[in-house]
Amino acid sequence: MKTISALKKSGSIIFECISGSKAYGLATPNSDTDIRGVFILPKEQFYSLDYVGQINNETNDEAYYELRKFIELCAKNNPNILEMLNVPDECVLYKHPLFDEIKEEIFLSKLCKDTFANYAFTQIKKARGLNKKITNPVEKKRKSVDDFCFIRTGKKSIKLVDFLSENNLKSAFCGLVKIPHIKDCFNLFYSETENYQGVSRENANEVCLSSVDKTEQAIAMLYFNKDGYSTYCKKYKEYWSWVEKRNRERYKSNISHDKNYDAKNMMHTFRLLNMAKEIGEESIINVKRKDRDFLLLIKNAEFEYEDLVEKAEIIKNQLDVIYALSNLQEKPDLRVVNELLVSLRSKFYSF
């Protein structure tokens, strides 16, 4: 039982709900429907070596957690998992009576201050990351090793391509010999008859070295900025991988807002921070958002990025005071958690 279709036929699911934006009350016409659930492995599989902790589809729009993993994540106060304990009734697709025994008060603790806030600030980093990608696009035409080579002339250096152009030379007729004890520096030779290897080959990550007669005279010293080239290659790969995988509608939305940050990530930053406040003050997980209008303003990019970061920092600082005064337990009592887990599994297997 390792696919969702097999799971749904097995009768092992004890809880299934709509999660994400539709559960938060923040859905828009383009929002996906996310499904989350909890299942209990058949006894034989649970006791065997073939334990399965989680089953999801390829897009992760649907994810189901085995009871042990679900309870373990609840005990760690994982935000996405704790939400499942209090989704709106209209979002519950199926609930086995056993699931009602999993009470949020067993798990809610002062750990939420860090788990929710830290998760919130990863959303800021993601938003900032999109900002960097939007404002610093990488050209589709990939630069070559030659573009990171420089020639020393007198007291300055110039790009290899400029040096070759100024002297009517071709890269293919160049020969390089490493200069001992000087990192990434080479003597540059030139001949159209000596079969030198050239400066580099297409798609190579290093310069080419040539066999040069000791009587030949170097025409210049070449420096290959290898570290700069490696950094560029990483940036190039990351950027075009992001371009390939990005959600096109979401990207267009962010561009049209002209704010140059991922407004959806910023919205979730404040959702998480406000949920952390409510947990600290009220000891309850409010999944359906009362601050919906404010959050949708953020999603619509009605605020400047730096202003939102400042607001988020203020709320994060407030959490220290709120949780210091909170009546929440410091962390879940693992003895109670384990008793619950054993009880639920035993009852399920006895049905």
Burial class of residue 23 in the structure, from the number of CB atoms within 10 Å of its CB (0-12 exposed, 13-18 middle, 19+ buried): buried
Residue 136's pLDDT is what?
A: 59
List CB contacts of 134: < 8 A, sequence separation 6 or more.
Answer: 254, 255, 260, 261
What mean pLDDT value characterizes the chain? 89
Please give the model's pTM, rounded to 2 decimal places.
0.66
Strand extents, DSSP E, the chain: 13-19, 34-39, 54-56, 62-66, 92-95, 149-153, 156-159, 174-178, 185-190, 220-224
Cβ–Cβ < 8 Å for 87, 17: yes
> Which segment of 155-169, 194-208, 213-227, 254-268 scores lowest on mean pLDDT?
254-268
237 vs 335 pLDDT, higher one: 335
Residue 255's pLDDT is what?
A: 47
pLDDT in tens, 78-115: 999 999 999 999 999 999 999 999 999 999 999 999 99
- Name the band, by pLDDT with cuts 50, 70 and 90, for residue 306: confident
Domain chopping of the chain, boundaries: 1-107+330-351, 110-139+247-328, 145-230
**Percent above pLDDT 70 for the chain:** 91
List CB contacts of 262: < 8 A, sequence separation 6 or more.
Answer: 126, 127, 129, 130, 131, 250, 254
249 vs 303 pLDDT, higher one: 303
Q: How many helices (H) and strands (E) does the chain have?
A: 14, 10
**Does the pLDDT at position 195 exceed 70?**
yes
Residue 135's pLDDT is what?
A: 53
Cβ–Cβ < 8 Å for 108, 82: yes
CATH architecture of 1-107+330-351: 2-Layer Sandwich (3.30)
Cβ–Cβ < 8 Å for 97, 229: no
